[in-house]
């Protein structure tokens, strides 16, 4: 959507464009990627991956919103990503919990259960 900035008294509010959404998504994706690479704690890695999934959701919803004929396609894809992220979190936490019960460790560097 384009147009003149909205005015609310002495303040001028510019409309939010697709670029704003994409910049936010790139920022979230980079923070999540850095967190997933740099973390040693398995729970922290899962949390960083959730940031990456949220960046994808923002991109999908923004792309659906700024299509020539806006519809709910972006939101529908975002719901699928949310469902996949929830399933990934449940499985990841179950695996981490099983490893913790067996080895009492949550450090990703020390999770070498499959090496032996």
To the question of domain 15-110 being in CATH 1.10.287.3510, the answer is yes
Q: Decide: 32 and 86 in contact? Cβ < 8 Å.
A: no
At 18-64, the pLDDT tens digits run 999 999 999 999 999 999 999 888 889 889 999 999 999 999 999 88
Is 70 exceeded by the pLDDT of residue 1? no
- Mean pLDDT of the residues in the chain: 84
Write the burial class of residue 62 (CB in 10 Å: 0-12 exposed, 13-18 middle, 19+ buried).
buried
Q: Decide: 95 and 102 in contact? Cβ < 8 Å.
A: no
pTM for this entry: 0.75
Q: What is the reported pLDDT for 58?
A: 93
The residue extents of the domains of the chain are 15-110
Is 60 exceeded by the pLDDT of residue 79? yes
């Amino acid at each position: 959507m384009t147009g003149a900035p909205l005015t609310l008294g002495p303040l001028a509010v510019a409309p939010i464009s697709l670029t704003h959404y994409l910049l936010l998504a790139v920022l979230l994706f980079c923070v999540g990627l850095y967190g997933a690479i740099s973390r040693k704690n398995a729970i922290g890695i899962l949390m960083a991956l959730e940031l990456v999934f949220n960046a994808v959701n923002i991109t999908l919803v923004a792309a659906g919103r700024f299509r020539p004929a806006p519809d709910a396609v972006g939101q529908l894809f975002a719901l699928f990503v949310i469902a996949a992220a929830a399933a990934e979190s449940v499985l990841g936490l179950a695996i981490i919990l099983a490893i913790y019960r067996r080895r009492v460790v949550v450090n990703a560097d020390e999770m070498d259960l499959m090496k032996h």
